[in-house]
Amino acid sequence: MKRFQCAHNQVFFENTHCLACERGLGFIPELLEIKPLLLADTGNYRLADHTLEGREFRKCANYSGPNVCNWMIPVEDNHPFCIACRLNQTIPDLSYPQNRDYWREIEQAKRRLLFTLLSLELPIIGRDEDPQYGLAFAFLADQTLQAESEFTDDSAAGSPIMTGHSQGLITINIAEADAGYRERIRQQMNESYRTLLGHFRHEVGHYYWYRLIFNSHWHSDFVRLFGDESKHYQQALKAYYDHGPPYNWQDFHISAYATAHPWEDWAECWAHYLHIMDTLETAHCSRLLSRDNPLSNMRRRSDQSLLLVMQQMSIQDILGVWIDLSVALNNINRSIGLGDFYPFVISDSVMDKLAFIHRLVGEQAASRRKDSVVPFPVESR
């Protein structure tokens, strides 16, 4: 995440108001910036810093209404929702008071995901362009939020909502927005890490496998690195949950779950790639990195995304900076009694997989091609 400013004061990605100039704020997707707003005579908004002079914007319906968004829409776009909210297929039932808070937490994580995807110039093709396989989100609730695990018996809790992906649709169980529930499940699943943002990054990895790798020239390299995805998915998951990962899984995979199936290995590595790139951007913009590292020496235009500039770096250089930073942050966390910031090991095999993703993302940024719609294989989670 980059650093945002208004009136020489730091503002943050989720902010809707600047305490320095007392103006409202809005996120402008085409600029990837938080900007101060001025009410125009038309009832729309102009940018108070005179960026995009002459242009007017209006608030997303989820900004002006339930206030779970802060993104703006150009007035020439007639859609009531911003480019982030129009991807929502289903939102929580707001007649339950706690659901509004859960939805706000989910939306914040979703917009952070989309900010990174936009910064990397990855294709975000929604259901309006591709009704069958476009990206969409469904935020659903179990009949009870007191289910003891993701695999609670139906008779005890109704049919549980499974966080997962199917043909472009990402479903999130809104109970994941409850920190206590999420931590309980993390411990039951013996996971090192479980966050809303992590869920989004993992699940969107499945979307991009279909969008970028399926039926593409990248597929043979995918099979070489991750394995043959034609392996029966549900049987592979059952075997993983019945028997667990191989004893030496850390030599070849970023997480135990990545051993379940090549699709899950891909999605886990994709999520970690986004973790690494986004955190390095945040660290750089927050001046947490030493001046002699390769990232600090990269030249870029003031309007150029740091994540795009990082495409010019090798994955080895990126991971060199990352390992130094993550080790330091692990030690900081331990100094105040918290668990490790990044409790994962990047083996040579995982580095090769991350290098593959790095090349793939770089090609997408360079070409900005629109993939043709092709039949998708069976669903994955």
Instruction: Give how far Cα 112 sits from Cα of 120, 191, 274, 329, 375, Å.
Output: 13, 22, 11, 21, 29
Domain boundaries, the chain: 4-83, 87-367
Rounded CA-CA distance 239/27 in Å is 45
Asked if the model's pLDDT at residue 14 lies above 90, the reply is yes
Rounded CA-CA distance 100/91 in Å is 10
Q: What is the pLDDT of residue 300?
A: 60
Assess contact for 261 and 245: CB atoms under 8 A. Answer: no
Asked if the model's pLDDT at residue 305 lies above 90, the reply is no
149-165 as b/e, with b when 16 or more CB fall inside 10 Å?
A: ebebeeeebeebbebbb
pLDDT category at 160 given cuts 50, 70, 90 is confident
Summarize pLDDT for 231-263 with one digit per residue, the tens. Answer: 999 999 999 999 999 999 999 999 999 999 999
* Residue ranges with strand state E in the chain: 4-6, 9-11, 25-28, 33-39, 45-47, 57-59, 72-74, 88-90, 136-140, 164-166, 169-173
Choice among 91-105, 203-217, 365-379 with the minimum mean pLDDT? 365-379
For the entire predicted model, the pTM comes to: 0.90
Higher pLDDT, 153 or 37: 37
pLDDT category at 364 given cuts 50, 70, 90 is confident
Asked if the model's pLDDT at residue 309 lies above 70, the reply is yes
Residue-by-residue DSSP string for 200-216: HHHHHHHHHIIIIITTS
